[in-house]
Amino acid sequence: MIKVFVPRDAAALSVGADEVAAAIANEAKKQNKDVQIVRNGSRGMLYLEPLVEVETAKGRVAYGPVSAKDVAELFKAGFLEGKSHKLGHGLTEEIPYFKSQERLTFARCGITDPLSIDDYRKHGGFDGLSKALKMKPIDIVTEVTTSGLRGRGGAGFPTGIKWKTVHDLPAGEKYVACNADEGDSGTYADRMLMEGDPFCLIEGMTIAAVAGGATKGYIYIRSEYPHSVKVLREAIEIARKANWLGENIQGSQYSFDLFVRTGAGAYICGEETSMLESLEGKRGVIRYKPPIPAIEGLFGKPTIINNVMSFAAVPIILAKGGEFYRDFGVGRSRGTLAFQLAGNIKRGGLVEKAFGVTTRQLIEEWGGGTRTGRPVRAVQVGGPLGAYLPTSKLDVPMDYEEFAKVDAMVGHGGVVVFDDTVDMAKQARFAMEFCAIESCGKCTPCRIGSVRGVEVIDKIIGDIDRDKNVELLEDLCVTMTDGSLCAMGGLTPMPVMSSLRGFPEDFGKPAPNKFLADAAE
Amino acid sequence: MAKKVARPNKKPPEAESRPPTPAEIAALATCERYGNKADELLEILHDLQHQLGYIPEETLPVIGRALNRSRAEVHGVVTFYHDFKRHPIGKHVVKICRAESCQAVGTDELCRHAEQSLNTRLGGTTGDGSITIEQVFCLGNCALSPAVMVDEKLYGMVDPKRFDEIVAGLNKEAAE
């Protein structure tokens, strides 16, 4: 029997993976070949999707992007024996895009059948949790602290400290909540992991539960990810049956159960307190902090809240030790980050690398430049609230602190590329428009500031009192940054100001004024 | 946390005097299926919208009573989230991503094309009630932008030509 892999990842499905799988099954039947089709996750080389792999004695051989109409020809060329074809790329593991990565969190993604617990175990799955079940909770926390893992949702808060806060509180009703409301444009790592290796997230959350003393957990998935919702619900059911969730996990003293909740199309619910409100069945209006959610979180109880990527990094940290993970990265940014190449890019996809890689390397070495072939002009790193970097800033290493120094942020690792046709005044306007649409409405700087921001930028574009309005926009941005309750209003000025400072010519200001010139230096 | 005060959430007098509508019955049954738990409100609304196509106004007090929440609280939730519709919409929902990654490869042009070819604005429904087009911010398919989602099916690399093919597919399906 020959194993053929066709991804079930939503991105692969979006370019016809289901049709390709059906065509292969059909053709195999016609030719009387014994073929088993495995619906794996994506390898992350999304520009090659649907990427079909065939298992051979030498390893898995890749073909892509395959469309249903290529299938008959592939059979003719002998792809079931791994023979060459114009869509062939040789051994998957040898493709430079893939080979040059440092896959820790995504080590299994695309290799295993996402819903096979045997596959998961065979590839090191549940090693971390098995170890954790035999450890003292405080030692788990120490291991995570040692690893230097910081919140992968974007804020970069040390995960170990968060867990310790919950651990140190008296025993009682506690929760683990996973933020899978991946709303940032240009990011899809959470989705890929949930669809390609859901047990990894389940394992990470269970380790967190053991460390913090929680017995119940929720995964809050945005409604735009119906495939992830489905896969995770199935995975949880399978894990329950195998006693990796539920009462006395694997005969230990620990019990933990997990539930999936679906969002309803609100970007703000990616803010942790807003997510808690939403999990409680309320409007996703943010909460004041303090109290921090680690102390008073879901239903007013201590709650460990982390992003999908943070939880998914934990199993390998426990399995191989905090020091192993810490040895990747630079400065205070330890470990790896799943960078996501998006927008106008030739070879879009997921690149897991240790911190320290530069934006330019990612775009040129992996991404291969723009899809349109035109020169890169601006790159937005870290989602819609991240800065637009001009090409002069593309050599800053990916590192939380180094990015902060140039008024930018790494965020969730999204890298959105724009070519030289982009109008940065339009992008700045959109940042304000987006904030106006998605603001929860609790605080004035965000709710009203964003609406005024759109109006002021419109005046600048329309050359109405341009200098005065530029000054007003700067002032408004300071108010929003300093006066907003959460990162939504607080960071919206980042794309706006970075556009204004990095690309003043798009705002009809060929010569930057003194304030801008000073700031630029 | 503030203590929850039990408040009388009586049926309005007119509701006493008439039999419940099918929507109200569906709402009540849905709440029950989720154990009448208030924290399940989003799941309940998703489920109900899946059954009815939208959340009819008359179901709000019914849901409120079942979950021990006020009608205002339920109304607040329904109106806060973009997903929940308060009026009937098209048979198919076509969501076009308008976020940055898709902007970088021409979603503005795609939106204009969609509006023109379907003769309605974003957020509107075609004259025959078959398709509602909506803007959405990120479908998580950013390496293959522009992205479009039709009901729950995702499409990548959608240019105006591919958009027309997708729409033609929907119309063909409707004709069969």
**What pLDDT digit, counting tens, does each position of B23-52 carry?**
999 999 999 999 999 999 999 999 999 999
Tokens matching residue B95:
């969501």
Close Cβ partners of B54 (under 8 Å, ≥ 6 residues apart) = B84, B85, B86, B87, B88, B89
Question: How far is B21 from chain A, CA to nearest CA, in Å?
Answer: 25
Residues in chain A within 8 Å Cβ distance of B153: 13
Compute the average pLDDT of residues A12-17. 98
**pLDDT 10s digits, A432-446:** 999 999 999 999 999
| pLDDT at res. B173 | 83
The long-range contacts involving B164-171, CB below 8 angstroms and separated by at least 24 positions, are: B164/B117, B166/B94, B167/B94, B167/B117, B167/B118, B167/B131, B170/B92, B170/B94, B170/B130, B170/B131, B171/B130
Query: Distance between the two ends of chain B, CA-based, in angstroms?
Result: 56
Residues in chain B within 8 Å Cβ distance of A277: none
Q: What is the largest CA-CA distance in chain A?
A: 76
| pLDDT at res. B12 | 61
| pLDDT at res. A509 | 80
The band of A370, judged by pLDDT with boundaries at 50, 70 and 90, is very high
**pLDDT 10s digits, A456-476:** 999 999 999 999 999 999 999
Tokens matching residue B81:
């989230």
The percent of residues in chain A predicted with pLDDT above 90, rounded, is 97
Compute the average pLDDT of residues B96-100. 97
Question: How far is A217 from chain B, CA to nearest CA, in Å?
Answer: 14
| pLDDT at res. B60 | 97
Query: What is the number of other CB atoms lying within 10 angstroms of the CB of residue A253?
Result: 8
**pLDDT 10s digits, A394-426:** 999 999 999 999 999 999 999 999 999 999 999
**pLDDT 10s digits, A314-345:** 999 999 999 999 999 999 999 999 999 999 99
Across the interface, of B40, B95, B142, the residue whose CB is closest to A186 is B142
The band of A375, judged by pLDDT with boundaries at 50, 70 and 90, is very high
Interface test with A, best of B1, B3, B42 (most A CBs within 10 A): B42
**Dist CA A189 CA A307 (whole Å):** 11
Query: Distance between the two ends of chain A, CA-based, in angstroms?
Result: 64
DSSP conformation class of A364: I
**Dist CA A385 CA A408 (whole Å):** 9
The whole-chain average pLDDT of chain A stands at: 96
pLDDT at A112 over 80: yes
| pLDDT at res. A514 | 47
Nearest to A499, CA basis, from A442, A465, A463, A461: A461
Compute the average pLDDT of residues B88-114. 97
Domains detected in chain A? 2-99 (3.40.30.10), 117-326 (3.40.50.11540), 329-419 (3.10.20.600), 424-520 (1.20.1440.230)
- Give yes or no for A342 touching B (CB within 8 A): yes
DSSP-based helix, strand, coil % in chain B, nearest 5? 50, 10, 40
Burial A1-38 (b: 16+ CB within 10 A, else e): ebebbbbbbbbbbbbbbebbbebbbebbeeeeeebebb
- With CA atoms as reference, the chain B residue closest to A299 would be B1
The long-range contacts involving B119-128, CB below 8 angstroms and separated by at least 24 positions, are: B122/B96, B125/B89, B125/B90, B126/B90
A54, A61 Cβ separation under 8 angstroms: yes
- With CA atoms as reference, the chain B residue closest to A285 would be B80
The band of B15, judged by pLDDT with boundaries at 50, 70 and 90, is low
Question: How far is A435 from chain B, CA to nearest CA, in Å?
Answer: 11
**Dist CA A480 CA A432 (whole Å):** 11
Is the CB of A14 less than 8 angstroms away from the CB of B144? yes
**pLDDT 10s digits, A201-223:** 999 999 999 999 999 999 999 99
Question: How far is A300 from chain B, CA to nearest CA, in Å?
Answer: 6
pLDDT at A89 over 60: yes
**pLDDT 10s digits, A379-395:** 999 999 999 999 999 99
- The amino acid occupying position B22 is P
CA angle A185, A186, A189 (to 5 degrees): 110
CATH 3.40.30.10 in chain B, residue ranges = 92-175
| pLDDT at res. B176 | 77
Residues in chain B within 8 Å Cβ distance of A342: 101, 104, 142-143, 145
Domain spanning B92-175: CATH 3.40.30.10? yes
Tokens matching residue A282:
């309320």
| pLDDT at res. A521 | 47
Residue count of chain B, please give it.
Answer: 176
Sheet of B153-155, strands arranged across:
B131-136, B92-97, B148-150, B153-155
Close Cβ partners of B144 (under 8 Å, ≥ 6 residues apart) = A11, A14, A15, A46, A47, A49, A348, B156, B157
Residues in chain A within 8 Å Cβ distance of B155: 14-15
pLDDT at A180 over 50: yes
DSSP conformation class of A158: B
| pLDDT at res. B174 | 80
**Dist CA A203 CA A130 (whole Å):** 10
Q: Tokens 């921001």 label which residue?
A: A453
A319, A124 Cβ separation under 8 angstroms: yes
| pLDDT at res. B18 | 87
DSSP-based helix, strand, coil % in chain A, nearest 5? 45, 15, 35
- Residues paired with residue B147 on neighbouring β-strands, in sequence order: none
| A276 three-state secondary structure | helix
pLDDT at B83 over 70: yes
- DSSP string for A481-492: HHH-SSHHHHHT
**Dist CA A469 CA A463 (whole Å):** 9
Question: How far is A418 from chain B, CA to nearest CA, in Å?
Answer: 5
Q: Tokens 């002021």 label which residue?
A: A456
pLDDT at B5 over 60: no
pLDDT at A516 over 90: no
Interface test with B, best of A188, A273, A418 (most B CBs within 10 A): A188
**Dist CA A65 CA A80 (whole Å):** 16
The whole-chain average pLDDT of chain B stands at: 92
Compute the average pLDDT of residues B82-97. 96
| pLDDT at res. A471 | 96
Compute the average pLDDT of residues A38-62. 97
CATH 1.10.10 in chain B, residue ranges = 13-80
| pLDDT at res. A511 | 45
**Dist CA B96 CA B89 (whole Å):** 16
**pLDDT 10s digits, B110-164:** 999 999 999 999 999 999 999 999 999 999 999 999 999 999 999 999 999 999 9
- With CA atoms as reference, the chain A residue closest to B146 would be A343
- With CA atoms as reference, the chain B residue closest to A278 would be B42
Compute the average pLDDT of residues A287-306. 97
pLDDT at A76 over 90: yes
- DSSP string for A320-341: H-HHHHHTSEETTEESEEEEEE
- Residues paired with residue A380 on neighbouring β-strands, in sequence order: A388, A416
Q: Please tell me the CATH code under which domain B13-80 is placed.
A: 1.10.10
